[in-house]
Structure 1
Amino acid sequence: MLLPKTEKRANGEAFDAMSPAKAIDAFVNAQQAAAGAASAIPKEIDAGADAMAQAVRDGKSLIYVAAGSSGLMALADACELCGTFGISGDIVQIHMAGGVPTTGYMPGNTEDETDKAESIGRTTSKGDVALILSASGTTPYAVAAARSIKASGGTVIGIANNPSTELLNLADIKVCLETPPEIIAGSTRLGGATAQKVALNLMSSLMGVKLGHVYQGLMVNLVADNAKLVQRAAAIVSQIAKVSGQDARDALEQTSGNTKAAILVAAGASLDAAQAALRSNDGHLGPCIATLKPTKPKKSN
């Protein structure tokens, strides 16, 4: 039987037969090769980010669907959207076969539960975007969800590590991450999952850029809901507006923690003018800074 690449063993000496130093070197090299898979498909990655950004603009849902190790990668990316980019948790859905595990056990049979996957489509509508992951590209749960969501008018971003597979054939945006055979044959929690995490991080980060939530490499739409993040938000305001830390904290208090608005207020704009500028520029900070005239003298460090 011809095995898909994700089921083959990597060429060369078996991982378990190597010395520890050689095994570590081989493992790191394999992970680096897997991580680079996304760089071969920049157009597909960007198309996925575009679709995600449009869904957020329209108030539609971002739906993450996967089983097993792919589900863990999906879970990690989905759960970081709110804190990093200020994406409303109300529009992010996570569907992991068997549910999110609360112990170290993830049952394997749940990836065959196509009826539960099909039910996802019943709550999906046109404009929703689903990121559906399957290393093999043939996982029944993932494939059934893709069919169901497409039938309901949703857009499917299919992410798989084998080309020309059922999931990718169904997908509107085909993200094929052609990773080498695993150093432990079939253990796609290694190279396959690494490539999936890179692709998800790329798409969601580019989405943040397209939505104006990243400015000069800084997270200007973060949700500052703990002491560390309040400090980070103040540092961002201080750095961009070129004001003291205290002025940055005062601006954040005035804007109820809205980092973008706080940057403009700290730079000398009124709160009303800052909010209006952000609305007229779709939340993109650069045009606001370029055009907004301060209504009061800006304090310096």
Structure 2
Amino acid sequence: MATEHFSTRYQDLDTWPSLDILSAFYEGQLSAVAAVRSSLPAIAAAAEEATLRLRRGGRLVYAGAGTSGRIGVQDGTELPPTFNWPDDKLVYLIAGGEGAIMKAVENAEDSVEEGIAGVRQHGIGPDDVVIGVAASGRTPFTIAALREAKARGAQTIGISNNPDAPILEACSHPILADTGEEVIAGSTRMKAGTAQKVILNLLSSLIMVRMGRVYRGLMVNMRATNAKLRRRSEVMVSQITGCDDAKAAEAIRQADGDLKSAVLIALGASPSQAQDALAKSGGNLREALADFMKTA
């Protein structure tokens, strides 16, 4: 596996000056990001299908072990505050259980049985989207989870940093970022991990855009859970509608904090009209605005 290879270029790394070591690490990070470029079409295809399933009420499921599993958890946990993605529409299948997120659990990644059991326990089905992440592409737990999910009709996305890896055969949407050998041999928390995070950022963000949770590049579905975000909500309503800050704040109050409804209210809709327009558009603000402006 390329991610496990030892590079003679770095065999005396520990004797180098600190700045030279950091330069090598930095170059590795840049090459990791560059490795994602060729996978953009695969990411786009995976996101398009995922959107169709999630619109039917499906869940996003992240499966992985060790570093890969933790990166998946990080991506998933950022979706509710950023896009107001429902917490009950997120599932984490982590080798070794929740405790493995904070502390390594020995041999957990080798358990095929645990991978299968997790999928069955959560009743993964045809509307669900399962994302398996494994730098080696050979992690038994993750591959087993993907195969079981695929057999149950779910969409399966496999992310690997090694070509010709089993995980790419076990899923319906293979995504490869061939990051090659690590500066510190086998330390896939570095180049491989960076590429995985980039892929997940791209994939989940595109899904959220396609789900109508972004409008004009703005996070119109975000949860305003503190003063900074409440102020950001007011700025966004003002920016979209052209109203002043006071009117934006009042619209948000009438909308009980829902930014999309507040936009429509600021443009003259009643709270019930705003809710009806958004319900009709499936929560898509652009479509709701177009329909409302036709009748306004």
Tell me by how many angstroms 1:264 deviates.
1.4
2:216 corresponds to? 216
1:141 corresponds to? 141
Residue type of the alignment partner of 2:145: A
2:76 corresponds to? 78
| Structure 2 residue matching 1:50: 3-state secondary structure | helix
* 8 Å contact kept, 1:268–1:295: no
1:5 corresponds to? 2
Residue type of the alignment partner of 1:6: T
Residue type of the alignment partner of 1:53: T
1:205 corresponds to? 205
Q: How does 1:122-133 map to 2 (within 5 A)?
A: 122=120, 123-133=123-133
| Structure 1 residue matching 2:10: 3-state secondary structure | coil
Residue by residue over 1:1-57, the C-alpha shift from the partner in whole angstroms, topping out at 9 and shown as x without a partner, is: xxx111013452333232111111111110011022221111111122223322321
| Structure 2 residue matching 1:215: 3-state secondary structure | coil
1:299 corresponds to? none
* 8 Å contact kept, 2:60–2:90: yes
* 8 Å contact kept, 2:3–2:186: yes
Query: C-alpha distance in 1, partners of 2:8/2:262?
Result: 55
| Structure 1 residue matching 2:180: 3-state secondary structure | coil
The TM-score normalised by the length of structure 1 is 0.91
* 8 Å contact kept, 1:242–1:267: no
Tell me by how many angstroms 1:160 deviates.
0.7
Query: C-alpha distance in 1, partners of 2:229/2:53?
Result: 27
Residue type of the alignment partner of 2:89: I
2:88 corresponds to? 90
| Structure 2 residue matching 1:138: 3-state secondary structure | coil
2:272 corresponds to? 272
The TM-score normalised by the length of structure 2 is 0.93
Residue type of the alignment partner of 1:7: E
* 8 Å contact kept, 2:119–2:149: yes
Structure 1 residues not aligned, in runs of 5+: 297-301
Q: How does 1:149-168 map to 2 (within 5 A)?
A: 149-168=149-168
| Structure 1 residue matching 2:88: 3-state secondary structure | helix
* 8 Å contact kept, 1:55–1:62: no
C-alpha distance 71-293 of structure 1, shift in aligned 2 (>3 A): same
Q: How does 1:48-127 map to 2 (within 5 A)?
A: 48-101=46-99, 105-122=103-120, 123-127=123-127
Residue by residue over 1:117-170, the C-alpha shift from the partner in whole angstroms, topping out at 9 and shown as x without a partner, is: 111232211121100011000001111111211121111100111112111101
1:187 corresponds to? 187
C-alpha distance 104-272 of structure 1, shift in aligned 2 (>3 A): closer
| Structure 2 residue matching 1:65: 3-state secondary structure | strand
Tell me by how many angstroms 1:102 deviates.
7.5
Q: How does 1:228-267 map to 2 (within 5 A)?
A: 228-267=228-267
Identity of aligned residues (%): 37
* 8 Å contact kept, 1:10–1:180: no
| Structure 2 residue matching 1:63: 3-state secondary structure | strand
| Structure 1 residue matching 2:98: 3-state secondary structure | coil
Tell me by how many angstroms 1:295 deviates.
8.8
Query: C-alpha distance in 1, partners of 2:287/2:8?
Result: 52
Query: C-alpha distance in 1, partners of 2:8/2:247?
Result: 59
Tell me by how many angstroms 1:59 deviates.
0.8
Aligned length, in residue pairs: 293
* 8 Å contact kept, 2:94–2:100: no
C-alpha distance 241-115 of structure 1, shift in aligned 2 (>3 A): same
Query: C-alpha distance in 1, partners of 2:40/2:99?
Result: 33
Tell me by how many angstroms 1:244 deviates.
2.0
* 8 Å contact kept, 1:156–1:173: yes
Structure 2 residues not aligned, in runs of 5+: none
* 8 Å contact kept, 1:162–1:178: yes
* 8 Å contact kept, 1:121–1:152: no
Query: C-alpha distance in 2, partners of 1:258/1:10?
Result: 53
